[in-house]
Amino acid sequence: MFRNQMLDSTASQEYIQQIYQQITQQNQALDDLLQWGSSSMQGMNTKASPQLIKPMIQQIIKVFNENTQSKQLKININIPNNTQIIANRDHTIIILRNLISNAIKFSYVNGNINIYTSMDETYTHIHIQDEGIGINPSKSAALFNEIQQKSFGTEDEPGSGVGLVLCKDLIERNKGVVNIKSTPNKGSVFTVGLPSCPSHKPQTNVEVPTCC
């Protein structure tokens, strides 16, 4: 359509912006897969270090500004500024980027996405809650264990179907856990638990490394 001059300048700008966003996200997905494949070929060793969660999530959300604005979504972050985990930074970004992308993709227009944390003796849990289409409980158990058929979001956003399988592998490499709670037509809560930074664990008599 561009080549044949079938669009005026106003429409061209709109389409160019949409194409740019789609290409950016496809590049990120490809980069995630390449990193995953590279780390698999090099072995299972994962270099973990203290990571602040909130600024990482804020940076990821900026990438999806166009998507959230077009769907008029509100993203609420309720995470203390000093909340840390012990994990590989690149892996954590891939995990959170995929889960936040899914929350946006499957949210209804004008919905809310809530991102918050909780802690237990071992993990800092990152919860990503949406008000979207939800998942049938009979299907949710398989989401992280097998590549899904290509799916489309509430506004026909495409997906590859491999993101959650990739996430589970990276979560396990970082000694973490993952689960999902979902209700069809009401939304989902994806929860990733990654090892807490010792200085933030709800315990006493813990030797705190200087890195934290």
Identify whether the C-beta of residue 194 lies closer than 8 Å to the C-beta of residue 174. Answer: yes
pLDDT of 194: 97
Q: Please count the residues of the chain.
A: 212
- For the segment 42-61, the average pLDDT, to the nearest whole number, is 84
pLDDT of 175: 94
pLDDT of 212: 35
Exposure pattern of 46-69 as b/e (b: 16+ CB <10 Å)? eebebbebbebbeebbeebeebbe
Nearest one of 72, 48, 193 to 128, comparing CA atoms:
193
Map residue 212 onto helix, strand or coil.
Answer: coil
pLDDT of 206: 33
Q: Does residue 67 carry a pLDDT above 90? A: no
Identify whether the C-beta of residue 182 lies closer than 8 Å to the C-beta of residue 135. Answer: yes
What is the pLDDT confidence band of residue 100, given thresholds at 50, 70 and 90? very high
Average pLDDT, the chain: 79
CATH value of 9-200 in 3.20.20.70, 3.30.565.10, 1.10.1040.10, 3.90.1150.10: 3.30.565.10
What is the pLDDT confidence band of residue 209, given thresholds at 50, 70 and 90? very low
* pLDDT tens readout for residues 113-156: 999 999 999 999 999 999 999 887 777 666 766 555 556 677 66
pLDDT of 142: 67
Exposure pattern of 165-176 as b/e (b: 16+ CB <10 Å)? bbbbbbbebbeb
Q: Indicate the range of 19-33, 149-163, 170-184, 198-212 predicted with least confidence.
A: 198-212
pLDDT of 139: 73
pLDDT of 6: 74
